Amino acid sequence: MTVEDLSAYLVIPVATLYKWRTLGEGPRGIRIGRHIRYHRSEVQAWLAARAEAVA
């Protein structure tokens, strides 16, 4: 999934995803050439971990 796809899915600005990436936060992404992509499974795992941390 692209940064734009993930932004729409999480309902957050694209800039927030880039900021999280530079801070080492957020879901783990991979760089393919000049592009960043996210695996849906990584996003789901990150969301599950955040839900457990809040609970």
d(CA 5, CA 49): 21
Domain that holds residue 17: 3-54
User: pTM of the prediction?
Assistant: 0.86
Our count of domains for the chain comes to 1
Query: If you ran DSSP here, which 8-state letter would residue 18 be given?
Result: H
Coil, helix or strand for 31?
A: strand
Cα–Cα distance list, 37 to 47, 51, 55 (Å): 16, 23, 29
Note the pLDDT of residue 54. Answer: 76
Q: Tell me if 26 sits within 8 A of 45, measured CB to CB.
A: no
Residue pLDDT, tens place only, 1-55: 999 999 999 999 999 999 999 999 999 999 999 999 999 999 999 999 988 877 6
Q: Tell me if 18 sits within 8 A of 26, measured CB to CB.
A: no
